[in-house]
C-alpha cells in the first residue's frame, strides 16, 4: 500500500514539495529534451563545420520554429476538446476528433513545407542574411522543412499522450527522438563530415521519430484511451480547437519573432559574431526556460482540479509551494549560468578568441534574466489553469512581445551592444512585476 501511494499520484492528493516535484518531473524532462535539438546541432556545426554555418543555424531556426509551433496549437486545443468529449462519455466521438486532428495536421504540415520552400529565401533576405550566410540558411532550412509535418505531429503528440492517459509513453518517445538526433549528429557531422546538410538531416530524422512513431502506436489496438478511426472533417470542432490553442501558438510565434528581431539588431551592432554569441546564450535559455515551462505545465492540472473542487486551502498551498520552488530554481539557474558560462562558451566558440570574449561578456549580463523569467512563466500558467485566459494572455504577450520588443529596440540606442544583452533582463523584470500585480489583484476573486 505504501509503494502504491508513493508511485500513484492523484490530482486530488495533498501536494508536499517532493510530491509536487515528482508530479511535474516528466513534463520538465520532456520539454528539456525537445529543446535539445538546436543545442546538439549547434555544438556539431560550430565545432566541425564553422562559424558562419553556426550563425546560419541560429539565424534561420526561429523561422522554422514558427512553422512547427502549429503543433502546439493543435495539441493543446485538441487535447482539451478531446478530454472534454471523453468526460461526457462520448468515447467514439473523441476518437473521431483525435483522428480528424491528426489527419488535418499532416495536411497542414505538407502545405507549410511547400510554403517554406517558396518563401524561405525571401524571408532570410528580408531579415538581413546575404552571401555565405544566406546560402547556409537556405541549405539548412530546406532540409528541415521536409520534416515539418513530423515536427508538427511531435509537438502535438506531446500534449495528446497525456490526454490518452499515457504521459510516460510520450516522454519515452521524446527521449528516443532526442537521442536519435544526437547520435546521428555525431555520425553525420563528426564522422562522415557531411557538414550543415548532415546536421539538418539528423534533426529532421529525430523529428520523424517523435512524430511518426506515435502514428503506428495509435493505428493499432492499444491500452490508451485513444486510437485512430474513420473521421469526417468537422469544421466547427476544428475551429474550436484552433481557438482553444491560439494562445500557445501566439506565445511560440512571439518568441520566434523576438529571436529574429534580436538577430537583426545583432547583425547591425556586432555582425555575425553577435548572432553566434546570441546563439550560445539561446541554447542555455532554451533548456532553462523549458524547465520553467515544464513545471508550469505539470502544475496546471493540479491547480485546475483543486480550484474546480473548491479546495481553496490546497490552492493557496500550491501557489505558495510553487513560488518557493521557482525561487530555488531561479537561484540555481543563475548560479549555474555564471559558473558554466566559460565551459559552455568554450564548447561552442572556443576556437575564436574574439567571439569567446564577446560571448562571456554577454553571459555575465544575460544570466540575470534567469532570476526573473520563471515567475512570469508560472504566473501566466497559473491563470491558464484557473481558466482565466485573458489574464494569462496579457502576462504572456507583455512578456514575450511588448516588453522585449521595446527593450531590444530602445536600450541599444543608449548602450549599443550591451543594450541588447540588457534588454532581456529588463523585459523579464517588468514581466515579473506585471505577474505579481495580477496575482495580488485577483487573490480575492479566486480565493488563493
| Residue 321 to residue 299: CA distance in whole angstroms | 11
pLDDT given at position 1: 39
pLDDT given at position 130: 92
| Residue 445 to residue 448: CA distance in whole angstroms | 8
**Packed helices 91-127 and 246-308: angle between N→C axes, nearest 10 degrees:** 140
| Residue 154 to residue 167: CA distance in whole angstroms | 13
pLDDT given at position 81: 79
Grid cell of 237 as nine digits: 470542432
pLDDT given at position 5: 40
| Longest Cα–Cα distance in the chain | 66
Name the pTM for this structure: 0.76
pLDDT given at position 4: 43
pLDDT, one tens digit per residue, over 47-76 is 999 989 999 998 999 999 999 989 988 987
pLDDT given at position 6: 38
pLDDT given at position 11: 65
The residue ranges of every structural domain in the chain are 26-244, 245-448
pLDDT given at position 257: 86
| Residue 278 to residue 176: CA distance in whole angstroms | 28
Grid cell of 374 as nine digits: 520563471
pLDDT, one tens digit per residue, over 423-437 is 999 999 999 999 999
User: Which residues of the chain are under the pLDDT cut of 70?
Assistant: 1-11, 37-38, 247, 387
Residue 197 exposed, middle or buried by CB count within 10 Å (0-12, 13-18, 19+): middle
**Packed helices 148-163 and 17-48: angle between N→C axes, nearest 10 degrees:** 170
| Residue 73 to residue 97: CA distance in whole angstroms | 15
Amino acid at each position: 500500500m505504501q509503494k502504491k501511494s508513493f508511485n500513484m499520484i492523484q490530482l486530488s492528493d495533498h501536494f508536499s514539495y517532493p510530491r509536487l516535484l515528482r508530479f511535474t518531473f516528466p513534463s520538465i524532462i520532456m520539454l528539456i529534451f525537445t529543446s535539445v535539438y538546436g543545442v546538439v546541432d549547434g555544438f556539431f556545426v560550430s565545432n566541425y563545420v564553422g562559424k558562419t554555418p553556426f550563425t546560419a543555424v541560429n539565424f534561420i531556426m526561429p523561422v522554422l520554429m514558427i512553422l512547427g509551433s502549429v503543433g502546439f496549437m493543435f495539441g493543446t486545443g485538441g487535447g482539451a476538446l478531446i478530454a472534454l468529449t471523453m468526460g461526457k462519455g462520448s468515447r467514439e466521438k473523441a476518437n473521431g476528433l483525435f483522428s480528424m486532428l491528426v489527419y488535418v495536421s499532416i495536411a497542414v504540415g505538407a502545405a507549410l513545407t511547400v510554403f517554406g520552400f517558396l518563401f524561405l529565401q525571401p524571408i532570410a533576405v528580408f531579415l538581413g542574411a546575404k552571401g555565405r550566410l544566406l546560402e547556409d540558411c537556405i541549405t539548412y532550412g530546406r532540409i528541415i522543412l521536409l520534416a515539418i509535418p513530423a515536427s508538427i505531429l511531435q509537438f502535438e503528440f506531446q500534449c495528446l499522450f497525456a490526454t490518452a492517459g499515457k504521459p510516460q509513453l510520450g516522454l519515452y518517445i521524446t527521449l528516443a527522438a532526442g537521442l536519435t538526433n544526437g547520435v546521428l549528429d555525431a555520425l553525420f557531422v563528426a564522422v562522415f563530415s557531411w557538414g550543415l546538410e548532415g546536421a539538418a538531416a539528423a534533426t529532421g530524422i529525430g523529428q520523424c521519430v517523435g512524430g511518426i512513431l506515435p502514428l503506428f502506436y495509435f493505428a493499432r489496438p492499444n491500452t490508451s484511451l485513444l486510437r485512430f478511426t474513420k473521421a469526417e472533417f468537422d469544421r466547427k470542432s476544428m475551429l474550436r480547437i484552433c481557438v482553444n490553442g491560439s494562445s500557445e501558438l501566439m506565445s511560440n510565434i512571439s518568441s520566434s519573432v523576438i529571436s529574429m528581431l534580436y538577430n537583426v539588431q545583432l547583425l547591425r551592432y556586432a555582425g555575425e559574431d553577435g548572432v553566434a554569441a546570441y546563439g550560445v546564450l539561446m541554447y542555455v535559455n532554451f533548456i532553462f526556460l523549458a524547465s520553467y515551462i515544464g513545471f508550469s505545465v505539470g502544475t496546471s492540472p493540479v491547480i485546475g482540479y483543486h480550484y474546480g473542487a473548491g479546495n481553496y486551502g490546497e490552492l493557496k498551498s500550491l501557489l505558495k509551494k510553487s513560488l518557493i520552488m521557482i525561487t530555488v530554481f531561479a537561484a540555481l539557474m543563475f548560479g549555474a549560468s555564471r559558473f558554466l558560462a566559460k565551459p559552455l562558451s568554450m564548447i561552442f566558440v572556443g576556437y575564436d578568441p574574439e567571439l569567446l570574449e564577446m560571448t562571456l561578456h554577454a553571459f555575465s549580463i544575460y544570466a540575470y534574466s534567469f532570476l526573473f523569467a520563471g515567475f512570469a512563466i508560472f504566473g501566466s500558467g497559473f491563470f491558464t489553469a484557473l481558466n482565466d485566459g485573458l489574464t494569462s494572455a496579457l502576462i504572456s504577450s507583455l512578456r514575450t512581445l511588448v516588453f522585449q520588443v521595446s527593450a531590444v529596440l530602445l536600450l541599444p540606442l543608449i548602450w549599443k551592444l550591451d543594450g541588447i544583452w540588457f534588454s532581456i533582463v529588463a523585459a523579464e523584470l517588468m514581466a515579473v512585476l506585471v505577474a505579481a500585480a495580477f496575482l495580488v489583484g485577483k487573490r480575492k476573486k479566486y480565493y488563493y
